[in-house]
Chains A and B, each alone.
Chain A
Amino acid sequence: MKTGSTRSKGFFVGLVAAVVLGGPLCGGALAQARPSAEEVRAAMVFSFLRFTEFPADAAADPRRLRLCFSVGDANQAEALQALAGRKLGNRELTVVRLGNAADDCQVLYTDSRQRWNAAQDSRIGTPLTISNYRGFVGDGGMIEIDMQSDGNRFEINLAQARQARLRLSPQLLRLARQVHE
């Protein structure tokens, strides 16, 4: 039986972006230019949110899900900002830079250990944490994106997720390169 062929990195980036960002934008992006690594990471963040079930009391407003980011790259910040307004079921995603409303973030994205530590120091109590720096799950993060490797491109710290009363989809877990219990 044949299986799906291994795709190139570029193809993967475009595909994720197409899935996350929608047909017209994606189609046009594929036809004209590949999405950037920042856009792919933003799309992966949104996909993680799709396969994650938050506790009912995670947000003050059940119709909203707040994504807070703490990144140094302006392009990354822009790509994440572009997710604002997207729907996740009946909830609308809002995107804010960390610091404006640190006490009500359901998702935190950071791009370095330094900012992750700073976020931890601020004790914002974020349920789901995502980062792309290597060693994030070792630092107590939940999902670590690894854009450099082929195949499965993220690791999951399931113990942290359970501690934060998050329920990650088994399908998501199946795709993870490594799941830390």
Chain B
Amino acid sequence: MNKLTGPGSIFDRRSIRFPLIRLIVTAVLLGMGLALFTDAVLMFDNVRQDIRRTLTAAGDAAGTAASAAVAFGDAKAAGEVLRMFEAYPEIEAAAVYPIHGARLASYGDERLLPPDAANLGPAEPDITALASTTTLQRPIAVDEAQIGVVYLRARLDTYWRTYLATMALTVFVGLCAGALALLLAMRFLDRIILPVRLLAEVARDARVRQDFRPRPIPAADDEIGDMVSNFNALLAEVDAGRQSLQSYQNELERLVAERTAELSAAKETAEQANQAKSRFLAAASHDLRQPIQAMRLFQDALSKTPMSDEQRRISDYLARSTRSLAEILNVLLDVSKLDGGMVKPQSAPLAVRDLLGAMEAEFAPLALARGLRFKLYFPNRTLMLRTDATLLHGLMRNLIDNALKYTERGGILVGARRRGDRVLLQVWDTGIGIAAEHQSPIFDEYFQVSNPQRDSTKGLGLGLAIVKRVAAILGGRVTCRSRLGHGSVFELSLPAAATPDLDDGLSSDDPRALTRPLDGLRVAVVEDDAMAARALEIALGGAGIQTAGFRTAEEALADAHVASMDFYIVDYRLPDMNGGDFLDAVHRRAGRPIRAVLLTGDTFLDADSRSRFGEWKVLFKPVDLEDLLAEIRRQVAGSSAATAAAGDRVPDAAGYLRGT
């Protein structure tokens, strides 16, 4: 944008001056033209009337003076009368005629005069514009009776010269007046345009430079002056508004910073509280599981001793109570972990066939025992999921366990089918069904349709609440459809995997290994909790296993025979080092693959903690004796089949989320 400086040229088409000047010039020219034209017409008419009046007066005077001469036919007297026209230079010829008679007397050039009254032409003078001559005849009358005619012939050059000279002068004066008006108009325009241009510059400065300070603009005390003063007032208001806005903005930024600091502090506090909660949960997890673990092992050991029937019954009650306590603890801790966002899915391809096979292996015997059918349905072709296998297994266990719990007759059908780029997993049952009004609340915590007495043997009502949370973590959503008295179906949709992963690294268990005798097996038990250690030694001893107990890693490593043991059961959280590091040390000392399990009561573990387990098999306290023995048998059988394989170290993704 060009900067406008000064009043500007009248030829600057961008300036308002140009159209205004054009308007003024046009108006002046039009006005002048109209005035001059009118003046020319009026002057012309005046000249015509003047000519007519002059000639008529002269003719009438001559006629009056010559009337007696005409009446008496006195040509001499008439001729003397006509000599009065010497006072009229424009009259070049004149004559007196008796009425209808021949010329009585003449004046001037006789050749210009008709010989008699019959050929005089028009009575009124024919005065056309710039005509060189005209003629006039006036009657000579006495007592209202015409007795003759005075005929005049006049040259009009003088009149027209005067007329044209007057017109030229008028045009000249008009042009001078127009020029003067134009000059005055331009001076007047400067009074308007200059302030307007300065206003435009100030407005542009305000917009471009954000400079809203009022500026002195010269203007008269008129509408322009009002506009300038109002504009400056507006600038001042805008400036004040901007400063106020800036002040508000600064205050707002200060408040935001303050609130951010407060929020940061609150977040830090919350994180500290969360860490405290985590530490509490970890402590609770570890400290509660230790005695429970001991209780279960003692109970197992006790059950293998000779007891009376009454003692046996009490022991069974004790076992059930202990198991229930452990399950309740696990469920509560699972909910805490899920709500705390501590569970991160680790997606990997999973064959649906393997998933459903595992479910069948686990639940088909239970269904059969209750007189129910257990069926699988899935397409023959390989259907793959991309999900966290451990979490999904737990979720499916919950659903199937629920289905078994509420089905008295009929059966369970677990199916899978492809739905676009997802896989739909379904658990059908022919159970009691769920009323429509309960189909949404069943996913709430502690909601149980048929357990108003809160019988803990029927569960805590947390199974579906955990299912809902796990499904969300896996990127799906569990829905329920049901007809009361006919059965229910729970569905879960998960992303399908593109390529099948045929080797999941988990070889199926060798059924023969599960029954392998463990007599004489030498097992090192490294456990700092005396009660837990004692319970393990008693329980393992009952199975014919020879145990060597150590309270610390240092004590174990100090033993000369520790590297030659057949199996190691090691508490993860030892006072001097963690169990994983201890096993690594033993492995290095032995110079061969070793078989071992890590026991831990810490269920509240993040990925970092889980990574520290290394590749050692981990079992979570409380551990059933049978589970522990099965693991020992599995590893011993595996190592005998492939002693040299590195796979003797049982890889595991830590299936710590168990079914409830």
Contacts and interface: CB of A to CB of B under 8 A. Distances in A.
Interface residues of B, number: 36
A89 B98 CA distance: 19
B252 to A, nearest CB: 113
Given A2-B110, A27-B100, A19 B79 contact: no
Contacts of B67: 171
B614 interface: no
B434 interface: no
B100 A7 contact: no
Nearest to A30: B101
B549 interface: no
A61 B101 CA distance: 35
Contacts of B147: 19, 50
A13 B220 CA distance: 91
Contact of A88 (B83, B100, B105, B143): B143
Interface in A61-106: 87-89
A26 interface: yes
B560 interface: no
Query: Which of B74, B82, B106, B108 is the most central at the interface, judged by chain A CB atoms within 10 Å of its CB?
Result: B74
Contacts of B73: 7, 11-12, 15-16, 19
A4 B80 CA distance: 8
A27 B100 CA distance: 8
Interface string B63-98: 011011111111111111011001000000000101
A27 B72 CA distance: 17
Interface residues of A, number: 34
Contact of A172 (B64, B68, B75): B68
A175 B107 contact: no
Contacts of B144: 89
A19 B76 contact: no
B524 interface: no
A16 B68 CA distance: 11
A23 B99 CA distance: 7
A56 interface: no
B104 A47 contact: no
Contact of A15 (B104, B106, B142): B104
B101 A5 contact: no
A19 B145 contact: no
A4 B98 contact: no
Nearest to A153: B72
B148 interface: yes
A19 B98 contact: yes
B80 A3 contact: yes
Most A Cβ at <10 Å: residue of B64, B77, B107: B77
Contacts of B71: 16, 19-20, 47, 50-51
Contact of A4 (B75, B142, B143, B145): B75
A15 B98 contact: yes
A6 B75 contact: yes
Interface in B129-156: 142-145, 147-148
B68 A4 contact: no
A151 interface: yes
Contacts of A122: none
A7 B76 CA distance: 9
A29 B75 CA distance: 20
Contacts of A175: 68-69, 72, 74, 77
A1 B143 contact: no
B72 A6 contact: no
Given A1-B107, A6-B75, A19-B73, A51 B68 contact: yes
Contacts of A153: 72
Interface string A45-60: 0010011000000000
- Quick one: which of B73, B76, B79, B96 has the most chain A CB within 10 A? B73
Nearest to B78: A4
Contacts of B76: 3-4, 6, 151
A3 B71 CA distance: 18
Nearest to A170: B68
Contacts of A88: 143
A112 to B, nearest CB: 23
B143 A89 contact: yes
A2 B108 CA distance: 7
A27 B74 CA distance: 19
Contacts of A152: 74
A111 to B, nearest CB: 19
A44 interface: yes
B68 A171 contact: yes
Contacts of B104: 4, 15
Contacts of A18: 98-101
A120 interface: no
A2 B110 CA distance: 9
A174 interface: yes
Contacts of B74: 152, 175
Contacts of A22: 99
Given A4-B79, A175-B69, A23 B100 contact: yes
Contacts of B106: 2, 4
- Which of B68, B71, B101, B142 is most buried by chain A, counting CB atoms within 10 A of its CB? B71
A50 B72 CA distance: 11
Contacts of A6: 75-76
A-B pairs with the 5 shortest C-beta distances?
A4-B105, A4-B79, A171-B68, A15-B73, A4-B75
Given A4-B76, A15-B104, 8 more contacts: A2-B106, A4-B105, A19-B72, A19-B99, A26-B101, A51-B71, A51-B142, A175-B77
5 contacts: A4-B75, A11-B73, A18-B101, A20-B71, A87-B143
